[in-house]
Amino acid sequence: MKHALVTGAGARLGRAMALYLGDRGYDVAVHYNSSSDGADEVVSELKAKGRQAVALQADLLDETATHDLLPRAAGALGGPITCLVNNASIFEYDNISTATEESWNRHIGSNLRAPFILTQAMAAQGLAPETDAQGEPVAVGLIINMLDQRVRKLTPEFMTYTIGKMGLWALTQTSSQALAPAIRVNAIGPGPTLKGAKQTDEHFARQRSKVILERGANPRDITAALGYFLDAPSVTGQLICTDGGQHLGWKTPDAQGLE
């Protein structure tokens, strides 16, 4: 009974995680909003691996569609979802002066409200822990919330996006308490991994080079973190930042005695 739902799985890191879960023996529901061609390609690749897969469209800013998504995924795959990856996200710039009701609703809706609804839906399946050889419970469910290294190093930039991700970090910890011992909840916080749609190659390379390891991440780092969480039954409520140490950057004027 290894059934996964990955939101935003038609492209980028969602695609990488969906395919990785297929390699780990999961049947996968590939959620998308507008990337239908990409989702269909992921489904085809998963089926080529011998896995069951289905593409499911849903606008995660639509409450009804979001409430229906996980039950649709479980029905399509023929059993309860045991791995949920809350990956879909909106990332748009605003700050304290430019944030609007619309930017607030978009970021909080996609980056916090939708994962909360999907977490509730996963809990409502009634998963029960298994028992290992020592007679101890083993969680059968895993939720992965995709955060951002920004939650470890706050700035006032991308304000409503950051607030949404901070809320998702709080949800990661509180839901890990609420859903134990049947479901574990963990998080991954990427740094510069894939070039943004509005970035130039030069800007992206410079951004990667400025982290303390002088290199950013790649999708393999993300799937390695996912693999660790799959393989570590005693780990819950934790965040791995796959960011080249970006959140530990310290070469600021005050730290270097320049101010």
Closest to 7 measured CA to CA, from 50, 75, 57: 57
CB 56 within 8 A of CB 72: yes
Q: What is the pLDDT of residue 207?
A: 80
Phi then psi dihedrals of residue 187, to 5 deg: -145, 155
Q: Compute the average pLDDT of residues 238-256.
A: 82
Predicted TM-score (pTM) of this structure: 0.94
> Is the domain defined by 3-248 classed in CATH 3.40.50.720?
yes
pLDDT in tens, 135-172: 999 999 999 999 999 999 999 999 999 999 999 999 99
Q: What is the pLDDT of residue 251?
A: 77
Closest to 2 measured CA to CA, from 10, 11, 162, 20: 20
Q: What is the pLDDT of residue 259?
A: 56
Closest to 22 measured CA to CA, from 128, 41, 35, 34: 41
Task: Grade residue 2 by pLDDT with cuts at 50, 70 and 90.
Answer: very high
Q: What is the pLDDT of residue 254?
A: 65
Least confident piece of the model among 165-179, 204-218, 232-246 = 204-218
Each domain of the chain, given as residue ranges in start order, spans 3-248
Least confident piece of the model among 103-117, 123-137, 203-217, 244-258 = 244-258
Q: Distances from the Cα of 119 to the Cαs of 70, 185, 189, 244, in angstroms?
A: 9, 9, 18, 29
Contacts of 68 (CB under 8 A, 6+ apart): 58
Give the residue with greater pLDDT, 214 vs 146: 146
